[in-house]
Structure 1
């Protein structure tokens, strides 16, 4: 039985202390943009800049427990802002620049946010907000001047480089990210400072395998909880050097930078890995320094894993987590890999597959991925939503909304979201296993599988496919793909409907929006 005290923070604890303890002239962050501009900052410089901003925000009137919505791109300043707020006891609401006025207004109203800190180029969207925001006291821009907004650089420039971190308990709120569900408004997920402590000791140490001497590239963008997980906490909390790239994703550019900066650890989205694996000329890149490569957010196809192993001698290790928790299931370094599996629970006593009543299911049976309520890395509650919080638990478990089965070795096999699983003629079909088969075909660049209503079978499997450049869709190719899938998996799982498209709908963080494809299939 795992001793949970290993993952429980001291009673008085502020997650910023994990970064402060690395105060030195060691390089904390290296930044580059797509035009080749470069900047860097040491831990000492980063912490001093954060202290100055924390002093400025405090003098402005911000206090412990106040909430601030932060909208910032991939910049060194993003790390300064987040660290300053944590040190001042201010609760952070991460916000993507892709949010529109209505999305922003909801978060500001629901959280009763006292302030906004935004990169100057994103401030225009705030001006489109029509709703009343009675709790909003400060609008702060950085990077450029914005009319009627305070200037962050002026708030911090004359302040002291020392700041006494506000005393917080492990139960005090540190982050309030919002996550969208299939229905209703986004949910505010309450994460305490103690959650951060558990995250570092579970995900950072055991899954990412970041060492203090490593250079780490985690590609997630600010505004998402995954950025809090990896680029911010996991890198700076372990004293490593983080790489920050401000530019559009281009497979060749990514591989070039991996080689140029001699990256040791890489954390990418499945889409980024897939696009790199599809490139010609992979043999030209030397990535011998890369000792850890991980992927999360969506199951990764086995073919992509094979390509990286063949060309770069690194095993991409899949992992699973949610905004409500942290990375809790994965293939750890040195663990036997089962291609297509999510891996094993990092804390086996606290991660289970259960039925809808919260009872563990048998080996091979599909059920709900569930997290035991006592795990310190689990969220505290949904903000201002007791009913939704209560409904998300069954018995001793939080139900994630994702479906999986486990084998006799306790490896988990992802089946899809609860609303993604396809029931056809009584068969339960996980979309990923069909996608995995399709991705092995030489003509397929990317695909997504959803349920399509059928009068006889209830639903049939539909595949929406992007073909490789130079390949054209045809009835002959449809039949070829169907036969191809039948040979690789159970015949009843083959896609009875195939549609060729130029692009797939995705979330702002790069996940395929199967719900959108499913809705389209329902009306066709």
Structure 2
């Protein structure tokens, strides 16, 4: 865990090497650090700005995750077993993730906003053996109990519930000594689900080697976490970005993770950044946009903040300028996906180009290619692609060879995004090549929204697309054909929105619904979402 520093990008790219060990376990790495830094703060957790909160040292984190690993062993959960984790931001999130890695289990991160249908799909698709959940999602998990032949263990974080084992009770009395599984670097460690344009979500396979490579590239050169930092990454458990920054990047660098579990309010975030020695910040573009709109930013002095980055969608220049003017910090963009890690970014020491995603990560070959997989000329638009041998790339979609094959074109993994590269090697985002919707950093497949809508008895057919939005980047908009057009009304809009929230995670619901007589289609009958996207873009620009 060497200290990071401002880099010479060109030199780092030229000299970069990455030797991944044959056997690697991230939790063992954290334990090794804890052995010599047991009293150092690993986590500072708060639910409200004024509360005292909780803290956990590296020594305590190591022991508690050992206890949890022993709990898992007592439940017969070990190497290769799939465990679905459905918990919010908490100190225990770090304990639970680390303990699962120690046990050699495969973690399925799940948002606490998932609904029964989402959970059932993951359990059946992956063959999940155990679920660890908190009280707020129990009713959704209970709805799938008995529907799976593999799911046998139910563990509740906080409280008591019939049919569930208490996490606290299981931890009580467990030994705080445990030897981490001697996992091979190519063993599966995480199975994160991501939206697709058709069919159910895809199970993205990441091995233990991914955690090693991510630290070496994203944590060091982009997130810029140093051992003496208190770093705040706002992503919550259940998302690939939580594994990226709050978990792997911070603990892997021996820094202190600041965790806030309260609701996002821009002034609250500024208050916390003023109160605590937070030196590194990673937030979503939506959060930065909202913070930049706060009146009287000069009221807040962010004395410790030296580095800030943003990922999920391009950040507009006005927000970057506002942060630099008021806080003396340049917010640096980064680009990656669930299937990989940071592919492109404005790295420490790299000049900012307004509107650009930045340049390829050190050690990662990124190019703009055409339909035949050939690199296009500088300045030409094509598909953003990554060398299929890149160490940060996923190992395929679980039980889905067809969609795995479609993700590759010759020597390249095709991201599904389009862009162009200028003469200096900076990449500029041009838009999605498919129908995926990215809203406030959430990746949403239109199929999931449409599938929920058509289950309403009044809906004949529908199409969901991205509609430009100044704060969220884009929102989900649905074009709906009703079986009885005369039912179209504001009340029907609200009814359909609530219907979607019940069937799938609430962040996927259409914030706008437009009733139409028909949908544009190809001669073969496929809905032309591209035409509807273009319509929305023309209306809002």
Normalised by the length of structure 1, the TM-score is 0.81
Distance 1:295 1:277 in 2: 14
Is 1:385 aligned to residue 400 of structure 2? yes
Is 1:266 aligned to residue 266 of structure 2? no
Distance 1:88 1:6 in 2: 30
2:42 alignment partner in structure 1: 28
Distance 1:173 1:516 in 2: 41
Distance 2:160 2:378 in 1: 59
CA distance 1:282–1:244, change in 2 (3 Å)? same
2:132 alignment partner in structure 1: 117
1:352 alignment partner in structure 2: 367
How many angstroms does 1:18 deviate by? 2.5
After superposition, the CA RMSD in angstroms is 2.9
CA distance 1:294–1:60, change in 2 (3 Å)? same
1:491 alignment partner in structure 2: none
Aligned residues: 453
Asked whether the 8 Å contact 2:227–2:253 carries over to 1, the reply is: yes
How many angstroms does 1:21 deviate by? 2.2
Is 1:310 aligned to residue 321 of structure 2? no
| RCO comparison, higher one (Cα < 8 Å, 6+) | 2
Is 1:101 aligned to residue 116 of structure 2? yes
Deviations 1:98-149 (A, max 9, x none): 1100000000110101000011222121112277210011000011111110
> Structure 2: any 5+ residue segments left out of the alignment?
1-11, 437-467, 480-499, 515-528, 537-541
Asked whether the 8 Å contact 2:279–2:306 carries over to 1, the reply is: yes
- Within the candidate set 27, 31, 46, 2:61 is matched to 46
How many angstroms does 1:56 deviate by? 1.2
Aligned ranges 1:64-463 → 2 under 5 Å: 64-129=79-144, 132-347=147-362, 350-419=365-434, 448=474
CA distance 1:120–1:271, change in 2 (3 Å)? same
Distance 1:112 1:235 in 2: 31
Distance 1:4 1:386 in 2: 36
> Structure 1: any 5+ residue segments left out of the alignment?
422-437, 454-504
How many angstroms does 1:36 deviate by? 3.2
- Within the candidate set 15, 26, 46, 2:26 is matched to 15
Secondary structure at the aligned position of 1:50 is classed as helix
Asked whether the 8 Å contact 1:71–1:117 carries over to 2, the reply is: yes
Secondary structure at the aligned position of 1:216 is classed as strand
Distance 1:119 1:512 in 2: 23
How many angstroms does 1:324 deviate by? 0.5
CA distance 1:86–1:452, change in 2 (3 Å)? closer
2:17 alignment partner in structure 1: 6
How many angstroms does 1:9 deviate by? 2.0
Distance 1:361 1:451 in 2: 33
Secondary structure at the aligned position of 1:78 is classed as helix
Distance 1:319 1:363 in 2: 21
CA distance 1:291–1:183, change in 2 (3 Å)? same
Deviations 1:351-398 (A, max 9, x none): 111112211111111111111011111001110111111111001000
How many angstroms does 1:152 deviate by? 1.4
Asked whether the 8 Å contact 1:269–1:510 carries over to 2, the reply is: no
CA distance 1:520–1:124, change in 2 (3 Å)? farther
Secondary structure at the aligned position of 2:431 is classed as strand
Asked whether the 8 Å contact 1:119–1:143 carries over to 2, the reply is: yes
How many angstroms does 1:419 deviate by? 2.9
Secondary structure at the aligned position of 1:196 is classed as helix
Distance 1:244 1:29 in 2: 7
Asked whether the 8 Å contact 1:319–1:331 carries over to 2, the reply is: yes
Distance 2:426 2:509 in 1: 24
How many angstroms does 1:274 deviate by? 0.2
CA distance 1:81–1:509, change in 2 (3 Å)? farther
Asked whether the 8 Å contact 2:344–2:360 carries over to 1, the reply is: yes
Distance 1:389 1:515 in 2: 33
Secondary structure at the aligned position of 2:42 is classed as strand
Asked whether the 8 Å contact 1:298–1:511 carries over to 2, the reply is: no
Secondary structure at the aligned position of 2:132 is classed as strand
Distance 1:302 1:191 in 2: 34
How many angstroms does 1:451 deviate by? 12
Secondary structure at the aligned position of 2:333 is classed as strand
Normalised by the length of structure 2, the TM-score is 0.79
Asked whether the 8 Å contact 1:420–1:450 carries over to 2, the reply is: no
Secondary structure at the aligned position of 2:26 is classed as coil
Asked whether the 8 Å contact 2:193–2:204 carries over to 1, the reply is: yes
How many angstroms does 1:509 deviate by? 11
